Copies of this chain bind each other. A is one copy, B any other.
Amino acid sequence: VDKKERFTRMTNQRLLLLEHLQESKKHLTIDQLYSAVKPQLPKLSKATVYRNINLLEEEGLVQSLDIGKKEKLYEVASEPHHHFVCDNCNRIIEVNLADIWQIKERIERKYGVKVDSYQLIAKGKCDFCQRH
């Protein structure tokens, strides 16, 4: 296995995209990210957003989240954490269960694999929508 060395440059576009993802603390679609950064960088092209997000994801700085809608969501990478999506209002709640890391080990033992990442997506009705 021959790992090709890569050189990447911190361009203004890449920096602003990353910063916006960090500050917004939300899960954003490509389009939302593009619209958010566009005002500060009027010539920004959507192709650049795609290229940078894909690159940042490969590098592990950004994680993608697929909740079954058409578009993926992106967020800055962090501790493995999980998500609950309300089918009614589309709210996303970050889920943390203290001992969920055990799952990784159990999968590895039971199936003889090496788990590098995992994510749990639960869907249903959030607190508010259950009562309305």
Contacts and interface: CB of A to CB of B under 8 A. Distances in A.
Contacts of A127: 111-113
A2 to B, nearest CB: 14
A107 B110 CA distance: 24
Contact of A120 (B86, B103, B111): B103
A37 interface: no
Contact of A68 (B66, B68, B95, B130): B66
Contacts of A86: 113
Q: How large is the interface on A (under 10, 10 to 19, 20 to 34, 35 or more residues)?
A: 20 to 34
A120 B123 contact: no
A10 interface: no
Contacts of A112: 126-127
B120 A125 contact: no
Contact of A97 (B64, B107, B113): B107
A116 interface: yes
Contacts of A15: none
A119 B103 CA distance: 13
A130 to B, nearest CB: 6
A7 interface: no
Interface of A: 64, 66, 68, 72, 84, 86-87, 93, 95, 97, 100, 103-104, 106-107, 110-127, 130
